[in-house]
Amino acid sequence: MLDTLRRIIQEVNRAPDLSRALEVIVARLKQAMAVDVCSVYLVDSDAQQYVMMATDGYHPSVVGQVRLEFGQGLVGEVVRREEPLNLDNASDHPSYIFSRQIDEEIYHGFLGVPIIQHRMVLGVLVVRQRERRRFAEEEETFLFTLGAQLAGAISHAEANGDIDRLLRESDEARYALKGASGTPGAAVGRAHVVYPQANLEAIPDHPVEDVEAEIASFHAAVAAVERDMRIISARMVDTLSSEEIALFDALILMLRSETLVDSTVEGIRAGNWAPGALRKTIDEHVSAFEKMDDLYLRERAGDVRDLGRRIIEHLQSSHPTAHAYVPGTILVGEEVSASQLAEVPANMLVAVVSARGSSASHVAILARALGIPAVMGIDDLPVNRLEGQELVVDGYQARLFVRPSEAVRREFQRLQREEAELSDELQELAALPAETPDGTVIPLYANTGLLADISASLRCGAEGVGLYRTEVPFLIRDRFPGEEEQRRTYRQVLEAFAPAPVTVRTLDIGGDKMLPYFPVHEDNPFLGWRGIRISLDHPEIFLAQVRAILRANIGLNNLQLLLPMVSNVTEVDSALGLIHRAHHELCDEEEGGEMPRVGVMIEVPSTVYQIPALAQRVDFFSIGTNDLTQYLMAVDRNNAQVAALYDTLHPAVLRAIHQVVREAHAAARPVSVCGEMAGDPAAALLLLAMGVDSLSMSAASLLRVKWAIRTFPLTKIHQLFEEIQELEDGASVRALLHRSLDEAGLGGLIRAGR
């Protein structure tokens, strides 16, 4: 059974489109289960119907014609129950309805299973038997497993517009894709696809200008790989068995095989660039191998993929990666990284779209800092078909429109205009304090990382920098920056804001912020070597950074130092020891300046319970709600699959923050919040009610938060907080906050609030 299942799935995955995939399924299933009919019904939500999309057994003319209203028939029963329905005589069931189109009455045995993806029923797989037949439990689970696998293929096809095309027989090639989460804003632009080095599947198609030169560089790459393989094989003769060495020879033969070279060259001649043409060839080879009966030959599919990657690596070194960016660029990728984003000039970039990640991912945070929308977690993003396509990015509702219709484009251009108008109105608040109508003032600081967002922060009246993420300048280089290079970067930020305070956080790499030149491979990077842990294990990196920061502060004295990812007081002791050492060394060289105030990020739950001990060691606290939420709730901030569970307004998160503020104040230490939560106008009000001393957020959020603070009297906010403390889940907290904002005439903030 397992083998049959695997083969059907492989064949389905290779099908060029959904209708072919469904045909394969019904034909193979009918045969494997020895039934008289096998059909697939898909849900057409617009028409509110179930439509038979493929059949083997009934007359082919009924495909697309047999339609049941929602809730009707046995298919409707399977959808309602979201479970298999196994009947030895279908017509005995109360939901049975007779259909003349398919001559229903001759069939007795019925087994239907739902096809479910992300809690949604997409369709129903049905097998029928003329005789009475109660299907065995293994048959039920077999069909069920296939249904689950099919769900992926269907939603993928849905993403590609196939379903719409099939259902409506229209070839309009536009479609909207849904992401798991987004960051506020709307943008219209063109896709530029980025992909990690040597990730075959993600390579986009790309038109080629000089075909002959492209073919030549492809041949050169193949020759280079052959050379590499010979060198490796020669080096391995003493360590590998002759059988294993023979494998290398087989790979070299494969490299020379005409099919691999010729079909790629053909692809290039047809107008695709070499990496795209090679991806297609490798795909074809891989599926040919996967189809083979012999296990040994099937496993060669992996070797072909490996060969492909090797050729790509060589091709990439001959294709300069530097890209000429154009205005209106929308960065698109399987997993867009912070460094890929940082590479694009800020004035060219209008949005980010990533198949993986969530709105709490660092790349989304950077997008927010630049004031551009991001849509994260579109698992069916057809990355390699998007290069150069026109896109509309709707960050509010986490939607992406590919090749939008004129109406959609116009609608989003209008939204963009409204946004700009609101920003103009808000701009008048820049010079005013963040003061509630009843006189409570709270400083609003900016989060920065890119030098590009300094001017935006100043423009919107940031009263300093509450979080300068120093890893960002590290991310956009191809090596560790030297001490003097670092000093110059930090100096620019300190100078731009002086005498206002600038909180510089020491390096927080690890997690989803990997330096390309300092790779770390871990199973659980967010629970691994990250932030202060790396700094303490590499005092040479930490000391150089601290010296650079202290030297940048000379004569300005507006620096505060912040330590990330602290989980223990001993880490603070060690870090303070190194900071004092760096300061003394500089004082000896007469470059010391003043010793800055030092603070700790509260973002690992263990620190929530250690405030008194930490308060004895440091001068202030800054709550990192992004990580605190992730660690408190065990929800990976980067995982689109669980993005709906990631909630900074969860009562547990609110209680943790409240406790930190109370205990820090008891020890006379101020508390700031620098996670994304501080930039959500509704959440910012709650933080104010809890007594947080300052808020730090991306420049794009600052004026909205100020507007909310200047509208709500503190007494009202306190009342609201009282009510909220009684609530038991994040959704209710959000609903109550949004209702209050709406009533206060701040509805415009809600749309952009999450």
636 binds ligand PEP (CB under 6 A): no
Give the amino acid at 427: Q
Counting residues that bind ligand PEP (by CB under 6 A) gives 11
Give the amino acid at 531: G
Among 469, 491, 669, 704, binds ligand PEP (CB under 6 A): 469
CB of 538 vs Mg ion, minimal distance in Å: 19
291 contacts 285 by C-beta, under 8 angstroms: no
Stretch that binds Mg ion, among 229-237, 592-600, 620-628, 645-653 (CB under 5 A): 620-628
∠ at Cα 521 (193, 507), nearest 5°?
A: 80
Output DSSP code: residue 352. Answer: E
Binding mask 571-610 for Mg ion (x = CB under 5 A): --------------------------------x-------
Query: Between the CA of residue 615 and those of 503, 600, 667, 708, what are the distances in Å?
Result: 18, 9, 6, 31
Stretch that binds ligand PEP, among 156-164, 188-196, 420-428, 622-630 (CB under 6 A): 622-630
CB half-sphere exposure, 702, CA atoms < 13 A: 38
Stretch that binds ligand PEP, among 315-323, 351-359, 456-464, 623-631 (CB under 6 A): 623-631
CA–CA distance, 163 with 158 (Å, rounded to integer): 5
Nearer to ligand PEP, 344 or 364 (CB): 364
Of residues 712-731, those binding ligand PEP (CB under 6 A): none
508 binds ligand PEP (CB under 6 A): yes
Of residues 667-686, those binding ligand PEP (CB under 6 A): 674-675
Query: Between the CA of residue 80 and those of 51, 109, 139, 679, what are the distances in Å?
Result: 16, 20, 21, 41
Residue 362 annotated as catalytic: yes
Contacted entry of Mg ion, ligand PEP, none for residue 682, CB cut-off 5 to 8 Å set by kind: none
Give the amino acid at 138: E
Nearer to Mg ion, 362 or 491 (CB): 362
Nearer to ligand PEP, 77 or 508 (CB): 508
Among 129, 340, 626, 698, binds ligand PEP (CB under 6 A): 626
Concatenating the DSSP letter of every residue in 68-130 gives: EETT-HHHHHHHHHTS-EEESSGGGSTT----TTTTGGG--EEEEEEEEETTEEEEEEEEEES
Of residues 308-367, those binding ligand PEP (CB under 6 A): 365
Nearer to ligand PEP, 239 or 524 (CB): 524
399 contacts 181 by C-beta, under 8 angstroms: no
198 contacts 312 by C-beta, under 8 angstroms: yes
Residue 206 annotated as catalytic: no
536 contacts 571 by C-beta, under 8 angstroms: yes
Nearer to Mg ion, 85 or 600 (CB): 600
Contacted entry of ligand PEP, Mg ion, none for residue 159, CB cut-off 5 to 8 Å set by kind: none
692 contacts 658 by C-beta, under 8 angstroms: no
CB of 115 vs Mg ion, minimal distance in Å: 39
Stretch that binds ligand PEP, among 2-10, 624-632, 659-667, 700-708 (CB under 6 A): 624-632
Could you tell me the sign of the dihedral formed by the alpha carbons of 284, 290, 296, 302, in that order? positive
Nearer to ligand PEP, 469 or 734 (CB): 469
For residue 639, which phi and psi values (nearest 5 degrees)?
-95, 110
H and E: helices and strands count for the chain: 28, 22
Q: Could you tell me the two tokens for 115?
A: 């096809």
CB of 365 vs ligand PEP, minimal distance in Å: 6
Element spanning 197, H or E: none
CB of 249 vs ligand PEP, minimal distance in Å: 49
Stretch that binds ligand PEP, among 143-151, 157-165, 620-628, 708-716 (CB under 6 A): 620-628
Dihedral Cα 567, 573, 574, 577, nearest 10 deg: 150
Does residue 499 have a cis peptide bond before it, meaning omega lies within 30 degrees of 0?
Answer: yes
Going by DSSP bridges, is the β-strand pair 49-56/37-44 parallel, antiparallel, or unpaired? antiparallel
Taking the alpha carbons at both ends of the chain, their separation in whole angstroms is 47
Q: Which of 206, 362, 583, 658 is an active site residue?
A: 362
Nearer to Mg ion, 325 or 526 (CB): 526
Contacted entry of ligand PEP, Mg ion, none for residue 675, CB cut-off 5 to 8 Å set by kind: ligand PEP
CB of 344 vs ligand PEP, minimal distance in Å: 20
Counting residues that bind Mg ion (by CB under 5 A) gives 3
43 contacts 79 by C-beta, under 8 angstroms: yes
Contacted entry of ligand PEP, Mg ion, none for residue 674, CB cut-off 5 to 8 Å set by kind: ligand PEP
400 contacts 353 by C-beta, under 8 angstroms: yes
502 contacts 558 by C-beta, under 8 angstroms: yes
CB of 645 vs ligand PEP, minimal distance in Å: 17
Question: Going by C-beta distance under 8 Å and a sequence separation of 6 or more, which residues neighbour residue 474?
Answer: 480, 481, 507, 509, 515
466 binds ligand PEP (CB under 6 A): no
Contacted entry of Mg ion, ligand PEP, none for residue 545, CB cut-off 5 to 8 Å set by kind: none
What residues pair up with 695 in beta bridges, in sequence order?
A: 444, 673
625 binds ligand PEP (CB under 6 A): yes
CB of 674 vs Mg ion, minimal distance in Å: 9
Nearer to Mg ion, 164 or 603 (CB): 603
Task: Provide the strand spans (E) within 326-379.
Answer: 329-333, 349-354, 374-376
Going by DSSP bridges, is the β-strand pair 465-469/444-448 parallel, antiparallel, or unpaired? parallel
CB of 604 vs Mg ion, minimal distance in Å: 9
Nearer to Mg ion, 108 or 362 (CB): 362
Contacted entry of ligand PEP, Mg ion, none for residue 23, CB cut-off 5 to 8 Å set by kind: none
676 binds Mg ion (CB under 5 A): no
627 binds Mg ion (CB under 5 A): yes
Among 624, 679, 681, 753, binds Mg ion (CB under 5 A): 624
Among 23, 205, 603, 663, binds ligand PEP (CB under 6 A): 603
Among 624, 730, 748, 753, binds ligand PEP (CB under 6 A): 624
- The contact set with ligand PEP (CB under 6 A) reads 365, 467, 469, 508, 603, 624-627, 674-675
- The contact set with Mg ion (CB under 5 A) reads 603, 624, 627
- Which amino acids are annotated catalytic? 362, 674
